[in-house]
Structure 1
Amino acid sequence: MSYLKSLPAETTLLQVFRANPDPARHLLDLHEVLMRGESPFTPGERELIAAYVSGVNSCGYCHGIHTVTAEAFGVPEGLLAAAVADLDTAPVDDKIRPVLAYVGKLTRTPSRMTEDDAEAVFAAGWDERALHDAVLVCALFNFMNRMVEGLGIRADEAYASTSGLRLKDGGYAGLAALL
Structure 2
Amino acid sequence: MSAVIPAPGELVAPTRFTQDTLDWVPWVEPLPIEEVTEHHYEALVQRSRVKNPYFRLLARDPDILRERTKADLDIFLNTDAGLPRAERELAATAASRVNGCVYCASVHSAFTTQQSGRREDVQRILDEGVSARIDQRWDAIIDASVALTQTPSAFGAAELAGLDAAGLDDLEVLDAILAASFFNWANRLMLSIGEPGVPPSA
For Structure 1 versus Structure 2, the TM-score category normalised by the shorter chain is: 0.7 to 0.9
TM-score, structure 1 as length reference: 0.74
TM-score, structure 2 as length reference: 0.67
CA contact (8 A) 2:98 2:130 kept: no
Pair 1:47–1:158, CA change in 2 (3 A)? farther
Partners of 1:70 and 1:4 in 2: CA distance: 30
1:46 pairs, out of 78, 88, 97, with 88
Partners of 1:158 and 1:95 in 2: CA distance: 38
Q: In the TM superposition, what is the alpha-carbon distance from 1:76 to its structure 2 partner?
A: 1.7
Higher relative contact order (CA 8 A, sep 6+): 1
Deviation string for 1:11-42 (max 9, x for gaps)?
Answer: 73233244443222211111111111133211
Unmatched runs of 5 consecutive residues or more in structure 2: 1-24, 33-51
Task: Tell me the equivalent position of 1:4.
Answer: 28
Write 1 or 2 for the structure with the bigger share of helix.
Answer: 1
Pair 1:77–1:128, CA change in 2 (3 A)? same
Deviation string for 1:58-98 (max 9, x for gaps)?
Answer: 101111111122222134224234225244544x2322211
Of the two, which has the highest radius of gyration?
A: 2
Moved more, 13-22 or 40-49: 13-22
Q: Percent identity?
A: 22
1:126 pairs, out of 165, 168, 182, with 168
Pair 1:64–1:89, CA change in 2 (3 A)? closer
Pair 1:30–1:83, CA change in 2 (3 A)? same
CA contact (8 A) 1:48 1:66 kept: yes
Task: Tell me the equivalent position of 1:115.
Answer: 157
Aligned CA-pair RMSD: 2.5
Task: Tell me the equivalent position of 1:58.
Answer: 100
Query: How many residues of Structure 1 are paired with residues of Structure 2 in the alignment?
Result: 156
